[in-house]
Amino acid sequence: MKITRITSHVLQHKLDQELGYSQQYFTARTAHLVEVETSDGVTGWGECFGPGNIALANRTIVEQVLQPMLLGRDPLAREAIWHHCYNMLRDHGQKGMPIQALSGIDIALWDIAGQVAGLPLYRLLGGPCRERIPVYGYGMMLRRVPDLAAAFRDEAAAIREAGYAATKMKVGLGPRQDVALARAVREGVGEDYRFMVDANHCYTTADAFYVGHALDELGAYWFEEPVAPEDKAGYAELRAGLKTTIAGGEAEFTRWGWKDLLEARAVGIAQPEVCALGGISEFLKVVALCHAHFVPVINHVWGSAIAVTTNMHLLAAMPDLPGGLHPWQPMLEFDTTPNRFRDELLAEPLEIQRQVRESGGSVGLPGGPGLGVAPDRDFIAHYRIA
Which residues are the active-site residues?
Answer: 300
Cα 81 to chain centroid distance, Å, stands at: 23
DSSP 3-state of 75: coil
DSSP 3-state of 210: helix
Q: Are 48 and 121 in contact (CB under 8 A)?
A: no
Residue with smaller CB distance to Ca ion, 198 or 335: 198
Residue 63 contacts by C-beta under 8 Å, 6 or more apart in sequence? 6, 7, 8
Residue with smaller CB distance to Ca ion, 17 or 23: 23
Nearest-angstrom CA–CA distance, 17 and 279: 32
Q: Which residues bind Ca ion (CB under 5 A)?
A: 198
Least distance between Ca ion and beta carbon 226 (Å): 11
Residue with smaller CB distance to Ca ion, 9 or 170: 170
Q: Angle at CA 109, nearest 5°, toward 2 and 53?
A: 110
Least distance between Ca ion and beta carbon 300 (Å): 6
What DSSP state is assigned to residue 319? Answer: P
Least distance between Ca ion and beta carbon 250 (Å): 5
Q: Provide the 10 A C-beta neighbour count for residue 106.
A: 28
Residue with smaller CB distance to Ca ion, 202 or 371: 202
Nearest-angstrom CA–CA distance, 48 and 37: 17
Residue closest to Ca ion when measured from CB atoms: 198
Least distance between Ca ion and beta carbon 198 (Å): 4
